[in-house]
């Protein structure tokens, strides 16, 4: 048993040493610095949104060098921010595959709020697919651990037993819960922030509430619920398309709309500027309107 524990300890120490080279110290707030992960060797750093309290005078350090960094963009709804450091040839992390984590796996959370890498050990306690955060952000996958998130660990990596990074840690999405925004979610978020500085989200300009569809037409539409339109903003895409108060949306772009999450998940940046069909129930009639998806400001 002693030999097993000794080898496990040595293996964990080796993982921390190897993975720690791509963990950044991020100075973006008045109090304790936080952590980040080198996304690409040309100076792109991914960290947590809530640890960047200012838009300028940001500094990062990887290894022993401290340099200035620019805020490229942030998404408060998923607690992700992207920085560009004034340096290059940074050591990058090895990312884990999307299906490499299982509940019960041992994981290490790494941070660099100080000069050297710090670590804490725990297990994956939950892992699931698409999830909408309390702030309205959309994650392709989320991971929960039993780790204690020490001050300054947010934005740092969660590393598996193979030394691969599963995602970045945050203590801000759910109070008292340690969550990891995994690579499948980070890919889209970081790509959008690098391209636009923010997450592009589609816009119809309506207020809705879920309702049951009258039984006499449920068979025709193939669903039992939809979204009743309770408000339509002036000069909005919905108004221009001819949507009215009292209409019930049951489909958009050939996808069923049964609840608010269905609608929000479809209003992504890919549809902005496109004209797509919206299926509505008006009275007892089913009709289709063409609506041009706007962009939420």
**Residues identified as active-site:** 50, 79, 154
Burial class (CB within 10 angstroms; exposed 0-12, middle 13-18, buried 19+) of 35 = buried
Residue whose entry in the numeric block shows the structure tokens 């750093």:
45
Where helices occur in 119-168 by DSSP H, the ranges are: none
Using the 8-state DSSP alphabet, how is residue 201 labeled? B
Q: In 10 A of CB 150, how many CB atoms?
A: 16
**Residue from 230, 260, 264, 224 nearest 246 by CA:** 230
Q: How far apart are CA 69 and CA 87, in angstroms?
A: 9
C-alpha distances out from residue 130 to 180, 203, 232, Å: 13, 21, 29
The H or E element that residue 190 is part of is helix 183-196
Residues 145 and 123: beta-carbon distance below 8 Å: yes
Q: How far apart are CA 131 and CA 140, in angstroms?
A: 7
Specify the pairing of strand 106-111 against strand 118-128.
antiparallel
């Amino acid at each position: 048993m002693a030999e097993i524990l000794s080898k496990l300890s040595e293996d964990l120490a080796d993982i921390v040493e190897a993975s720690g080279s791509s963990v950044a110290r991020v100075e973006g707030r008045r109090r304790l610095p936080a952590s980040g992960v080198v996304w690409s060797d040309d100076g792109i750093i991914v960290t947590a949104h809530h640890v960047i309290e200012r838009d300028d005078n940001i500094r990062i350090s990887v290894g022993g060098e401290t340099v200035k960094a620019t805020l490229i963009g942030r998404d408060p709804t998923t607690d992700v921010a992207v920085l560009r450091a004034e340096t290059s040839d940074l050591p990058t992390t090895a990312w884990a595959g999307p299906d490499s984590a299982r509940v019960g796996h041992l994981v290490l959370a790494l941070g660099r709020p100080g000069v050297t890498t710090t670590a804490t050990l725990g297990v994956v306690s939950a892992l699931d697919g698409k999830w909408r955060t309390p702030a309205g952000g959309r994650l392709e996958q989320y991971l929960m651990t039993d780790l204690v998130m020490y001050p300054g660990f947010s934005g740092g990596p969660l590393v598996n037993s193979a030394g691969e990074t599963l995602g970045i840690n945050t203590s801000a999405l759910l109070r008292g819960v340690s969550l990891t925004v995994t690579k499948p979610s980070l890919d889209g978020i970081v790509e959008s922030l690098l391209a636009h500085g923010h997450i592009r989200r589609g816009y119809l300009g309506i207020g809705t509430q879920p309702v049951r569809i009258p039984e006499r037409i449920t068979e025709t539409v193939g669903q039992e619920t939809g979204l009743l339109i309770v408000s339509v903003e002036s000069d909005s895409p919905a108004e221009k398309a001819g949507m009215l108060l009292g209409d019930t949306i049951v489909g958009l772009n050939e996808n069923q709309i049964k609840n608010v999450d269905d609608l929000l998940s479809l209003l992504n940046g890919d549809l902005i500027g496109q004209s797509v069909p919206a299926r509505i129930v008006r009275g007892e009639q089913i009709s289709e309107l063409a609506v041009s998806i706007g962009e939420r400001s």
